[in-house]
Amino acid sequence: MIIDDVVRDRTPDGWRLSAAVDSALTPGGQRLHFTVHGGEPEWMPPVGDAFLAALMMPAMALKEDVHVHAPVSRRLFRSASTITDLYTAWWPHLHPVDLRAPVATRGGGDAVGLFFTAGVDSFYSLLKDIGRSAAPDWEPVTHLLFANFERKAGSRYEHLLERLRHVAARTGKQLLVIDTNVRSTCEPTAFWPEYHGAALASVALSLQGLLGRCLIASSDQYRYLPPLGSHPLLDHLFSTEGLEIVHDGAEATRAEKVIRMAGDGDPALDDLCVCWKSEPGHNCGQCQKCLGTMVALELAGASGRCPTLPAALDLELVRAVPMPDEPGRDTMRSLAQDAENRGRQDIADALREGLRRAGDHRQVAG
C-alpha cells in the first residue's frame, strides 16, 4: 500500500485533506479524504499522520506493507508498532506488516476537541468536562467534532445537525462537521467495531493544526474492557507530539452516565440521540441502543424525562430485542449488573432473558 500525494485543497465551504492510496483497497484509484466545513487552511497540515492511522488496519487485513510518502509524526510512527501488536493480538485475521515513512516532529494547535454524536457516551464526557472547567489550569473542550462517517445527507441528517448545533450553542462550544470516505473505503477490510477508534483518531489527526488535545468518549467501563476499536490501551497511541488523543469516560457505566445526564436541571436529555437503526436524529425506541438507554433512564429515576424516547419502559420489548453484536451485548450485561446493584431485579431478569434469547451464555459483566 502506497500513500502518496497528500494535499490540502479549498472546498466551497471549507478545506479538504486527501491522499492517493495505491492498494487492493482502492482498485478504482479512489483518494482518501477528510473535509472540514469552515475553518482555516492551517488546521489541516498536509502530512501523513491521518492516513497512516486510517490505513493500518486495512493494510493488515490485506497483508500489504505500508509506505507513506509524506512526513509522519515521530511519536505516532513509534507507537504504530504497538498498535499493530494490539491489533494482531486481539484480531487474528490481521497480519503484521512493515510500515515505512519519513518521520518529523511538529507542534499542534491549542483547541480541545470532543467527538460528539449527542449519544450517552459523548454527552457524559461533555458534561464531565463542563463540570471541571472551573478547576485551575483545566483546558476545557472548545470544539465538538461530528465525523460524518456514514456520509449522511437529507432532512433527517439536517435534523441531527440542528440538535448538535443546539448543544454546541447551549454549552458555548464550536461545532465542526467533518465529511470523510474513510469508513466507506476501508469497511470491506475493517470491521467497524474493531476500526472506529482508528477512524476517529484519523479525523482528529487531519485537524492537527487546530487541535492540541482530542477526547474519544468511551463506550465500555474500566471494570470490563473487551477488545474494541476504541479502547484505553489503544486510543492514546494515535497521539503525536502536538496532539494528545484521550480515551475518556471509562470510569462510568452506562447507567452512571445517564444518571449524570439526568442530574439537576441539566437539559442534556432534551437532545439525546442514541439510535442509529433509524435515520439520524431520530430514536426508534425499540432497538438495543434505545432500549438500553431507556433502561438506564429508568435506573436513574428519569423515565419520561427524555423527550426523544418513549416515556415508559416496556420490559417485554427488552426481553425480545435483537442483540446482534458483541459490544451491544456487553452494554446489556453491564446494565443487568447495574439493575441488580440498584435493587431492580425485574429489569435485570428482563435483560438476562433478552441476552439468553440473543444466544448469549455469559450473562454477567466483569
Q: Looking at 3-11, 42-50, 170-178, 272-280, which segment touches Zn ion (CB under 5 A)?
A: 272-280
Strand partners, 22: 2
Q: Looking at 85-93, 136-144, 242-250, 281-289, which segment touches Zn ion (CB under 5 A)?
A: 281-289
DSSP classification of residue 30: P
Q: Looking at 24-32, 274-282, 344-352, 354-362, which segment touches Zn ion (CB under 5 A)?
A: 274-282
Beta strand ranges found along the chain (DSSP E): 2-11, 14-22, 31-37, 66-68, 72-73, 99-100, 103-104, 111-115, 143-148, 174-180, 211-217, 244-248
Q: Looking at 76-84, 187-195, 228-236, 269-277, which segment touches Zn ion (CB under 5 A)?
A: 269-277
Nearer to Zn ion, 137 or 316 (CB): 316
Q: Looking at 59-67, 74-82, 131-139, 275-283, which segment touches Zn ion (CB under 5 A)?
A: 275-283
1 binds Zn ion (CB under 5 A): no
Nearer to Zn ion, 165 or 277 (CB): 277
Tell me which of 290, 296, 335, 351 binds Zn ion, using CB under 5 A: 290
Position of cell 467495531? 193
319 binds Zn ion (CB under 5 A): no
CA distance linking residue 354 with residue 81, whole number of Å: 40
**In sequence order, which residues have a C-beta less than 8 Å from that of residue 150 and are 6 or more positions away?**
183
**In sequence order, which residues have a C-beta less than 8 Å from that of residue 158 and are 6 or more positions away?**
none
Q: Looking at 63-71, 148-156, 205-213, 290-298, which segment touches Zn ion (CB under 5 A)?
A: 290-298
Question: How many residues sit in the footprint of Zn ion (CB under 5 A)?
Answer: 5
Nearer to Zn ion, 45 or 285 (CB): 285
**In sequence order, which residues have a C-beta less than 8 Å from that of residue 335 and are 6 or more positions away?**
253, 254, 255, 292, 295, 296, 299, 347, 351
Dihedral sign of CA atoms 22, 27, 31, 35 in order = negative
31 binds Zn ion (CB under 5 A): no
Shortest reach from residue 287's CB to Zn ion, in Å:
3
Question: Three-state DSSP class for 167?
Answer: helix
Shortest reach from residue 134's CB to Zn ion, in Å:
36
Tell me which of 62, 104, 233, 284 binds Zn ion, using CB under 5 A: 284
Burial of 35-53, coded b for 16+ CB within 10 Å and e otherwise, reads bbbebeeebbbebbbbbbb
Tell me which of 36, 44, 287, 318 binds Zn ion, using CB under 5 A: 287
Residue nearest to Zn ion (CB): 275
Nearer to Zn ion, 140 or 310 (CB): 310
Tell me which of 152, 166, 277, 319 binds Zn ion, using CB under 5 A: 277
Q: Which residues bind Zn ion (CB under 5 A)?
A: 275, 277, 284, 287, 290
